Amino acid sequence: MNPLYAELQWLPRVPPEFSANLRALATSAGPLGREVQALALPALDLNQLTKLAKAMERARNEGKSLAPLTPFRLAVLSNSTIDMMVPALVATAARHGIALEVIQPSYDQVAQEALTPDSKVNSAKPDAVLFALDYRALPLKLSIGDEEAAAATVAGTMGYFQAMRNGIKSNCGALCIFQTIAPPAETLFGGLDRALPGTKRYLIDAVNREMAEAALQSGDVLLDVAGLAETVGLADWHNAQLWNMAKLPFSDEFFPLYADHVARTLAAIRGKSRKVLILDLDNTVWGGVIGDDGLEGIKIAQGDATGEAHLAVQRMALDLRQRGIVLAVCSKNTDEVAREPFEKHPEMLLRLDHIAVFNANWSDKATNIQAIAGELSLGLDALVFLDDNAAERGLVRQLLPQVAVPELPEEPANYARTLAAAGYFESVAFAAEDLKRAGFYQDNARRATLQKQVGGVEAYLASLDMTITFQPFDAMGRARIVQLINKSNQYNLTTRRYTDPEVVAAQSDREVFTLQVRLADIFGDNGMISVVICRPGEAGVWEIDTWLMSCRVLGRKVEHMVLHEILKHARAAGVHKLAGMYKPTDRNKLVVDHYAKLGFTKLSEEESGLTRWALLVEGAEPESAPMKVVSQGFAAAPERLPA
């Protein structure tokens, strides 16, 4: 059994004081979120996860808050016994910043729960439903060598999933999470099973492929349990004895691993995936120490075993960058010495223009990582820090607990795999914008330089030659809209998170005004950078339900232009007043004055810091910014009586 996966080796080991800290939770007044998350961080085994979950349950029962963990209600429909899994899920979710509540119907009641409108699951109105089904739950009838019958079996199985999905969608509208099916380890013919229609392996392959395609198209979420089981090995994954004795779906050895995969998926749904990979250099990106060994001495060449190990780290970093992960460097080195391999070493895959922020100096790494977060306008919880040095890892983990810092094995050949196994960059959807994102942040660094040269802000903005494009929500933009709604923390007035189906609902509701905003400039296309949802309030009033913006276009007066656009549509719809709300979180202080700056009048302020604002549409004249405005895709407003 590979301990990397079974023992979650990218996580720190459980400290001896775990039990004492767990007991301390009982006497803490709360909110307990941070303490619970710290307790959940190490590689807890099933017993420890169970104890932590029980402590969380007691705290909840005593009315203690788990803030700032993000609440999530998950219903689990399964054909196996998941009672032992539920506490592992709850505790592991805390590791990923989620306060999870699991709704668990009776054993093996999948269809009844999905299809009955007032079932336990449907009436609980969960945020998501996880269909935790394995091959034993499916009508996978053998039809050896019969292609037609095999196709019918696959279609029947997909029809079963579709029926469950439709049940959930029409009865409670929750997001559906489907698991791919881990095939049993046993074959019938042997290798031929893969090829021959109608064998179990053939049928499961086909079901998994169709399930994956259906998820991509429908906006459902896929949990690739088949991939996970393949990774750790089917023979270890399946445990016939435990199934027979207790109907456990797979080996208990992998409960913590499975729970981590569920939890990282839920975190991704809530926009908590990380966005930046910060690399140490010496003995991480290359073998050896550049300051001591020099350009010729460091190991980075093909054909050298150590060099190839570090090249694999570079390859993975580059691949991650290609899918939109921003790269940064944090190294204790003299700046020009650290840059030399990037500029001059012929075998280096990483080049300076791949790195958004390059911090090589002699200050401590925690300070440098904070500086990197600042330069990228991202929170610490968006960062991953990869360093071979255990002392540096420990320091960063202690001073900046929000930064993810994977443990690394002795052997550099396993660095890349360890980073991948940690799943920090787990995503549930892919937006075309992702491909460009790493570049956006780099362009931003160049924009900042230009700003320094140009002097005046107005002249700078004019020199950017910006085009802003307004559209209502549409299918093309939806993946990115959902991503922004779930990821934006700082420039976000209400931090309301919506799932894909909820965004579809807003899009198709004619009473709801939706806006997606894109911005292009001389450096390129920034892609979608702002999202607004206005819902009808009292007669003639639009309540601004959601207003968020990507921080990479801060200071460009985009928000002023967005207000212009909202006002235009409000007038056309006969709306006379906009009502706004600022709901404070620990991340959105940036926008505390958003409505004041835009000329709204403050109506009230609650003790929590929540403020309410209003703007009369008539006579509202927000500032303008020098940019070309494109407004497209809006239906003509229906005739309305003046309110």
Partner 1 sequence: MDEPQIYAELTRVFQDVFDEGPINVTPELSAQDVDGWDSLTHIRLILTVEKAFKIKFSTSEIGKLQNVGDLVALIKTRT
The residue from 195, 216, 246, 390 that contacts partner 1 (CB under 8 A) is: 246
Among residues 6 and 188, whose Cβ is nearest to partner 1?
6
Rounded CA-CA distance 559/17 in Å is 49
Among residues 11 and 46, whose Cβ is nearest to partner 1?
46
Cβ 25 to partner 1 shortest distance, Å: 13
The residue from 252, 340, 525, 543 that contacts partner 1 (CB under 8 A) is: 252
Rounded CA-CA distance 496/163 in Å is 30
Site for partner 1 contains 235 (CB under 8 A): no
Cβ 46 to partner 1 shortest distance, Å: 7
Among residues 47 and 398, whose Cβ is nearest to partner 1?
47
| Cβ-count burial 568-597 (b if 16+ within 10 Å, e if not) | ebbeebbbebbbbbbbbeeebeebeebbee
Among residues 62 and 335, whose Cβ is nearest to partner 1?
62
Rounded CA-CA distance 143/376 in Å is 57
Q: What are residue 179's DSSP bridge partners?
A: 223
Cβ 250 to partner 1 shortest distance, Å: 13
- Phi and psi (nearest 5°) for 543? -90, 125
Three-state helix/strand/coil letters over 446-480? HHHHHHHHHCCHHHHHHHCCEEEEEECCCCCCHHH
Cβ 27 to partner 1 shortest distance, Å: 16
Cβ 84 to partner 1 shortest distance, Å: 5
Cβ 378 to partner 1 shortest distance, Å: 39
Structure tokens at 259: 């729970």
| Residue 409: C-alpha distances to residues 9, 309, 406, 480 (Å) | 8, 12, 10, 36
Q: CB atoms < 10 A from the CB of 15, how many?
A: 12
The residue from 245, 476, 572, 592 that contacts partner 1 (CB under 8 A) is: 245
Among residues 81 and 463, whose Cβ is nearest to partner 1?
81
Rounded CA-CA distance 177/127 in Å is 11
Among residues 45 and 543, whose Cβ is nearest to partner 1?
45
The residue from 61, 241, 608, 632 that contacts partner 1 (CB under 8 A) is: 241
CA angle 155, 178, 418 (to 5 degrees): 125
Cβ 244 to partner 1 shortest distance, Å: 6
Among residues 255 and 491, whose Cβ is nearest to partner 1?
255
Q: Which residues contact 84 (CB under 8 A, 6 or more apart)?
A: 46, 50, 246, 248, 252, 255
Of how many residues is the chain composed? 643
Among residues 217 and 241, whose Cβ is nearest to partner 1?
241
Site for partner 1 contains 217 (CB under 8 A): no
Cβ 89 to partner 1 shortest distance, Å: 15
Rounded CA-CA distance 398/401 in Å is 6
Among residues 237 and 342, whose Cβ is nearest to partner 1?
237
Structure tokens at 226: 């088949």
Cβ 588 to partner 1 shortest distance, Å: 38
Q: How many CA atoms lie within 13 A of 243 on its CB side?
A: 13
Cβ 99 to partner 1 shortest distance, Å: 20
Cβ 81 to partner 1 shortest distance, Å: 7
Residues within window 368-397 making contact with partner 1, judged by CB under 8 A: none
Nearest to 356 by CA among 383, 394, 388, 393: 383
Among residues 51 and 594, whose Cβ is nearest to partner 1?
51
Cβ 232 to partner 1 shortest distance, Å: 17
- Phi and psi (nearest 5°) for 285? -85, -30
Applying CB under 8 A, the site for partner 1 has a residue count of: 16
Cβ 478 to partner 1 shortest distance, Å: 41
Three-state helix/strand/coil letters over 269-317? HCCCCCCEEEECCECCCEECCHHHHHHHHCECCCCCHHHHHHHHHHHHH
Structure tokens at 630: 């494109």
Stretch that binds partner 1, among 124-132, 244-252, 290-298, 488-496 (CB under 8 A): 244-252
Q: Residue 636 region, left (φ>0) first, then alpha (ψ -120 to 50), else beta?
A: beta
Nearest to 355 by CA among 438, 297, 412, 294: 438
Structure tokens at 360: 């090589």
Rounded CA-CA distance 339/343 in Å is 6
Among residues 54 and 568, whose Cβ is nearest to partner 1?
54
Residues within window 36-95 making contact with partner 1, judged by CB under 8 A: 46-48, 50-51, 54, 81, 83-84
Site for partner 1 contains 244 (CB under 8 A): yes
Among residues 52 and 615, whose Cβ is nearest to partner 1?
52
Q: Which residues contact 589 (CB under 8 A, 6 or more apart)?
A: none
Site for partner 1 contains 248 (CB under 8 A): yes
> Hey, what's the torsion of the CAs at 105, 89, 498, 109, to 10 degrees?
-20
Site for partner 1 contains 27 (CB under 8 A): no
Stretch that binds partner 1, among 188-196, 239-247, 376-384, 500-508 (CB under 8 A): 239-247
Among residues 94 and 248, whose Cβ is nearest to partner 1?
248
Cβ 1 to partner 1 shortest distance, Å: 12
Q: To which residue do tokens 């009838």 refer?
A: 141
Among residues 134 and 308, whose Cβ is nearest to partner 1?
134
- What residues make contact with partner 1 under the rule CB under 8 A? 46-48, 50-51, 54, 81, 83-84, 241-242, 244-246, 248, 252
